[in-house]
Each structure stands twice: as structure tokens, then as C-alpha cells.
Structure 1
Amino acid sequence: MDTTLSVLEMQQLYNRSKPVVWVVRIKHMVEEELVETFGTAFSVSRDGLLLTTAHFFPKTLYGLDVRRLDEPNFQSANVVYEKPKWDVLLLQVIDMNDCQYVGLNSSDSLSVGQTLLHIGHPNNFVGSFLTGKIAFECKGNIEIPTTNLTCKSYTPTALETTPEYRIMGDIWNRHVFVDPRSFTYEKNLHPFVPVIQMYGFICGEGCSGGPVFNFRGEVVGMVAMSANGYEIAIHVAILRETVRLFREQHSDDEDGKRKAIPDPKFQAGDSKKFKAHQADRKERKR
């Protein structure tokens, strides 16, 4: 049951939650220019496993590092697992063994009007503490999508039959993709990914990948996007399943510490080629 927290209780919850929230910094190429982009992630294990959104990451990275919200220094990290059709990705902080982390809520049910909390970095306002409410209930009984369906061919059915929870296909579907050149990433999302429709948050660029908490400080979702005036979060059922699949596929080493093995799908940019490319561009501008 939803209750109201006092200002002091909200401050205490923020203080408890801050150490699990991370700033993600990536360097990548945009129209032949090296740019830095910032996002949000949150830790779900003592050895520095971080959850964030997959759409934030280009396939070729020239730099990736992270810092905890309450610490000043950036640390190296690797992309170790991704589920692009679910818009979920896992990072591993290198040489981490004492990371504070948050629990993923074990219940799938969410009620209309329930208050949710978010810590993210909207438009460089790092560490903003936001509140919002649920606009459409989730009755539980979440089904994890396993087929190869994509949003680009999905026909929405919510107007014919009211669903038990929101799905990605309610947002992205064949009626939206009029221009075949647009929404390249969204077209390939799975339409049956469960999502949370929220209002009251003012999430901006930089909030993607940030945790959505209940009043107990448990994660119930992860901010992914805005749509039609609402904020949309990936449901915690998908987050739990992503972590389970990763742990199932990656065994610990002899010391009991998980190895930060980069995902081969994400390639590191060739620094020598990049420098040569930049030098050539400068020469051509003269």
C-alpha cells in the first residue's frame, strides 16, 4: 500500500539510494566528431555489476568509464552483456569487490497512483531526485518475451482488449513507423517487453538507465524513454531476468570474483586510426 513519506524520510531514502547510482560516460563518433555522452546506471551486485539501457550505447566506443554518484573519480568498466530487444545492458566495473548495490523488487504488481522515485541526471542536473506516479496498473503475471517479434511489424491490440500491463508495442508499433528510415533502434525492440507508464517525472537526456524505486528503496523499473507526455520504464521482471541470464552464462573465476570480460559485440575504437583520421581532417580544413 502506498503511503506518504515526510521530507526527512525522503532525504533518508535519497541518502541510502545515492551510493548505488552511477554516472556513465562514453566517447563515440558522431558525424566524424568525437563526443562525450552521459547516462545513468545502478549497481545490482557487490562486484560492480551495473544495469543500464542498451540504446544509449553505440557499437563502437572510444571510451567508457563510470563513477558512483557520491564519489568524484571515474573508473573503468566493460560492457559484459546486452539484450538489445529488451533495451537492457550490463556493465562490469573493473576490479570492484565492495560495491554497494540495490535489490530488485520480487513482486511484479504495481498499482495506479502508486508513488515512485527516481535518481538520474536530466540534462546535466546530476543526482536529481524525482517523484512520479503510476498511470496504468500492472496486475502481475508478467510474461518474459522469448520470440523473435519486433515492434516494426506489431499491430497493437490494447484498444480491443484492455491489457493487464503495458508493453513496448503500445508505444512502438507498425502504425508509428510511417517513415522507414526513422526509429531504427525502436523498430527492433520486442513488442511484448513489459513497461511502466508513469507521470509526474520530468526526465531529460541523461536519465536513461536510471533506477525507479518504491518507498522501500527497491527497484521496480529502469527509466528508458518518454512517450506521449509520459515517462516509460522497463519493468523489473525484465531486469531480474537479464541478471539471471547473465549469471547463468558467466561463471566466477577461481577467486570467486566475476571477470569483466568485454562483450565482443561492442568494439573499442582504434585510437591510432582515430588520431590519424583527426589529423587528416585538420589538414583538409587548412
Structure 2
Amino acid sequence: MYNDEKNLYHYTYRKDGSEPGDARIAVDAPYRESRDDGPGKKAKKNRGGAKIVALALSCALLGGAAGAGVAVWSGSGGGNSTDVYMSNRTAATVSVKAVDGKNAMTDAEVYASNVNSVVSISTTGSSGTNYFGQSVETASAGSGFVLTADGYIVTNQHVVANANTVKVTLYNGDTYDASIIGSDQQYDIAVLKIDASALQPVTMGDSDTLNVGDHVLPVGNPLGDLTFSMSGGMVSSVNRAINVDGTPFNMIQTDASINPGNSGGPLFNQYGEVVGIVSAKYSSYSSQSVEGLGFAIPMNDVLAMIQDIMTNGYVTNKPYLGINQGTMTAQMAAQYRYDVTKGVFVYSVEAGSAADKAGLKMGDVITKVDDTDIATSEDLVALKKTYSAGDTSTFTIYRAGGYQTVEITWDSVPADSEGTQSSQQEETQQTPQNGSNSNGGSMEDLFNYFFNGGYNR
């Protein structure tokens, strides 16, 4: 029975809920079994079975004592069959060590040396109105970690998305109101700021040095209640491409236990360095339950962007193409009489954008960027993350029955559109809509392009 409703993890087998008075456990009587064979017959004891049970229990106790290294009698009169062996091993002392990237640590040392850098994040927000027109309040929880001693905190964008209030709680229990400095949906990163000083920041590691089989340790707040929990596992894969709600990500895959509430927390290597930001977990796939599929964003992919957000409030060097795009399909090829069934179809081009300056047009199909083949819209979004604003790439496009190449210098996301839907339009599969888009894009324009060989401009 649970003898303390406030301590749900403590259990006693005593019916009255009491605790034993000392370490020696008394057994009222040895196990006996008798059988009455009828009048005038003496009851026979089944001693054979009792011996087997006693032998099995003795082996188990002796095996446990041998495994512990040192054992003593729990009672003062050793040798009694009702005594229980108790280990006299003293608890190991875990020391807090400096994270220097040179000396590997035990799991306990990684935790002790970094737990003060991990934070719990709770948010409140609203999600529209209910039947009575009242605002529906929402609450969520996540994790994060201290980036600088003066209070910059890193977490996932989806942890703080649409939040009205954000609170950050440190390991010592101190809670602060946090402001959102900036975030980026494409990379699922966010930077918060709390009014604090002399905090313990984490040490960043090189995620490119990770190998499959390396030991990693996530620390965070699973379920929002089991705060500052650590789990352990290995790197199952590096550079794993996954799709989260239509957005492709390059991830570190791990079999460490990750649950809701862990999002935004740090993934430590065996040297106590942060090599990833815990972001996602597959609990089911194609109606099948799965286990051991957790994912973290590699630090090398986002560290420069995090620093950019700290300085400018958004990612200034994020590459921007300026198109409304979608995946080319065989059905579209048959309908529009194209000879290509894969690639990125350009539905519209934003006036003055990098794509417009390079001569991309509505109806073009992007099939290759530099040396990388492009089969879907997600392929282009994932590849774009490997470039920065100002980089120049060679695009291979299909147009008017043939292939040609164009040089495009990636632009940067406009500051006034960062974080808005317009800045995301080139990263979401689109379909042509009625009405006019920039550089053509109406249904009439598309019809004339496909069937009359040009724009109606």
C-alpha cells in the first residue's frame, strides 16, 4: 500500500503502512506445509520442496552479497536463518567538474556539473474562443538551457509559439518572467531573456564529431512535472532527415528516453558539452507504436543563428529565394504536358527577389541545385538550410520542354517579413489560387502559360 499520498514513489508491504523498526527483518516462522492423510495417520511434511526453495533463496542472497562486494549480517547474532544480508557499501561521492572537452565524465558527473544550467519553461496562451465566445486559455511546458551568465536561454520555437506569458524556473527553484528575444520556425529555435545574473551557462560542443554509438544524455522536464530528469542512450544516427509537420529537419537520432516536456532541453555528450537541442520524438508511425526514436537539432546547425537572434532579434543571414513553390507530380506533368515528373514547381515569383533577379518564372520546375537533385519541395527546403544569404548557386530548371541553368545569389529574409506567413510561403507546398500573385500567378496566367505558351501580362 502507499503509506503517504504525498510520496507516490514510496512503497511498503506492511498492511498497516508502518515502517520496520530496524534493519533486521523478523520472520514469524519458517515456511511449512503439512497434509492430513486421515484419521490415525501422521501428517507428512513436504520437506523436499522446502529445501529447493531454501536453496534457491540462499543462492539469490549469496549471489547478491557477492555482487555487492561486502556484506554483513543485519542482526547481531549472525547465522540465524531469519537474518537478512545488508551491504555496508558507502555511497559514492559525485564531484562537480569543469567541462573542458578533454576529460570524459561519468553520467552522474555530467548531471551534477550541468543541472544548474538546465531550466524548466512554462507558458500560457490562448487558442481562439469557445462556443460562448470566451477566450480558451492554454498552458504548456518545456525545457531549455542557460546560454550566457546574464540570462539568455535557448529552447525550441514550438515550446514558446503563440505564448502570452513565459516563465523560466531554475534548478534552485527561482522563477523568472521571460521575454522572447526571437525565434525561427524553420530551425525550431528560440532565444529567451530573463533578468538574472551570475547564472551557470552550458559549454557548447562540436556536434559534427558525434559518431553512431556515442553515449548521449538528455536532461529536461518530461511531462512538465518530472523536472530536471536525466535519461541516457546512444546516438542511433547522425544527419537523419525527418519531416515534422511538413518541415524537413536534419537531426541527431537517439534511443534515449524523450517525452513531451523534454523539448528545448540540452543533449549532452560524455564530456558534458551540449551537442544538440532535444526537439522531437516518434511515438507512432503509420499506425504502429515505436520506441527509442528521439531526435535533437545539431548545435553546429543553429549556433550561429542563435547568436544572430541574440543580436538582431531574428536570423539575418537566412537564405531567401522568393518563390511560391510546390512539388511537381506525374499528375501535374500529364495535365500540363510536361516531360518532367519530379522537382519543385514555381507557382509565382516575388518581385525584386533573388529568384526574380535571376530570371525564374512561374511554371519553371527546379530539378537541381548545384550538384544536388531536387525531387520534392521538402528537398529544396532542406537543402536551402545549408546555404547562407549571399551564397551563389547554380539552379537547373525545366522550361518550355528543355533544361537550362541559371545563377542565383541567395537573398536574406526581409526583416519586416521574418516570422510572418509571407516569409514562409516559399517553404510550404502551395497550389495556385484565384486572384493575382506577384509576377503573375492567377489562374488565368497559369492557363495561358501552360496552354498558350506564355504569360498574359
Which interval holds the TM-score relative to the shorter structure?
0.5 to 0.7
Cα distance between partner residues in 2 of 1:231 and 1:110 = 16
Deviations 1:186-208 (A, max 9, x none): 22x3x3x4310111x22111000
RMSD of aligned residue pairs (Cα, Å): 2.6
The aligned residue for residue 27 of structure 1 is: 124
The amino acid across from 1:44 in the alignment is L
- Look up the match of 2:142: 39
Kindly state the Cα deviation for residue 248 of structure 1 after the two structures are TM-superposed: 4.4
* TM-score of the superposed pair, with normalisation by structure 1: 0.64
Letter in 2 for 1:236: M
Q: Which residue of 2 aligns with 1:55?
A: 158
Q: What's the CA shift for 1:75?
A: 0.5
- Higher RCO (C-alpha under 8 Å, 6+ residues apart): 1
1:234-249 matched pairs, under 5 angstroms: 234-249=297-312
Which position in structure 2 is the counterpart of 1:257? none
Task: Provide the aligned length of Structure 1 versus Structure 2.
Answer: 201
1:247 is displaced (CA, Å) by 4.2
Give 1:66's aligned amino acid. Answer: V
Give the C-alpha shift of residue 240 in structure 1: 1.1
Q: Which residue number corresponds to residue 64 of structure 1?
A: 166
> Given the superposition, is the C-alpha separation of residues 107 and 225 from structure 1 closer, same or farther in structure 2, using an over 3 Å criterion?
closer
1:34-80 CA-partner distances (Å, limit 9, x unpaired):
23211101011111111100112232x33211111x22231111000
Alignment partner, residue 205 of structure 2 = 105
Query: Is 1:13 matched with 2:110?
Result: yes
Residues 184-237 of structure 1: CA distance to partner in whole angstroms, max 9, x if unpaired?
xx22x3x3x4310111x2211100001000111100001101135410100111
Q: Is the 8 A contact 2:207 2:276 kept in 1?
A: no
Opposite residue 36 of structure 1, the aligned amino acid is: A
Provide the residue aligned with 2:263 in structure 1.
Answer: 208
1:33 CA displacement: 2.9
1:117 aligned residue (217, 230, 246) = 217
Partner of 2:233: 132
Q: Secondary structure at the match of 2:309?
A: helix
- The whole-number CA distance in structure 2 between the counterparts of 1:212 and 1:265 is 26
Paired position in structure 2 for 1:233: 296
Identify which of 232, 242, 260 aligns with 1:171: 242
Map 1:141-152 → 2, pairs under 5 A: none
Q: What are the Cα deviations for residues 79-115 of structure 1, in whole angstroms up to 9, with x where unaligned?
A: 001111001111011x222111012113512111111
Distance 1:72 1:112, change over 3 A: same
TM-score, structure 2 length as denominator?
Answer: 0.41
| Counterpart Cα distance in 2 of 1:89 and 1:45 | 14
Q: Determine the structure 2 residue equivalent to 1:197.
A: 253
Cα distance in 2, alignment partners of residues 15 and 214 from structure 1: 14
Give the gaps of 5 or more residues in structure 2: 1-100, 286-290, 314-417, 421-457
Q: Structure 2 counterpart of 1:40, which letter?
A: S
**1:120-162: per-residue Cα shift (whole Å, max 9, x none)?**
111121111110111124xxxxxxxxxxxxxxxxxxxxxxxxx
Q: Bigger radius of gyration, 1 or 2?
A: 2
